[in-house]
Amino acid sequence: MEKAIVDQVVDGKHAVLLVGGQEIEKVISTTRLPDGVTAGSVVKVEFHGDELVSIEADQKETTKTKERINSKMELLRERSKRRN
């Protein structure tokens, strides 16, 4: 299984996944997403060609990623405050 990030949900019906280190874009039905998975979530996926075979939420990796992003955003806010 490969790591993927749910990049966005389009029209409530499709989810855009960025799969693997090269962030290959794959589009799946939102009905295939595990419960609680939203844009920004990390999942583990297995594809055969363009067909999704398996998907599971990776809550631990999602939490780490969101914490890392929040830290970077806070640094940017602090830098912005210092410039003003």
The pLDDT of residue 8: 97
pTM assigned to the model: 0.83
Give me the residue label for tokens 């019906």. 13
Assign 3-class secondary structure to the chain: CEEEEEEEEECCCEEEEEECCCCEEEEEEHHHCCCCCCCCCEEEEEEECCEEEEEEECHHHHHHHHHHHHHHHHHHHHHHHHHC
In this predicted structure, what is the pLDDT of residue 18?
97
Q: What is the pLDDT of residues 28-81, one digit of tens each?
A: 999 999 999 999 999 999 999 989 999 999 999 999 999 999 999 999 999 888
Q: pLDDT-derived band of residue 10, with 50, 70 and 90 as boundaries? A: very high
Q: Does residue 2 carry a pLDDT above 80?
A: yes
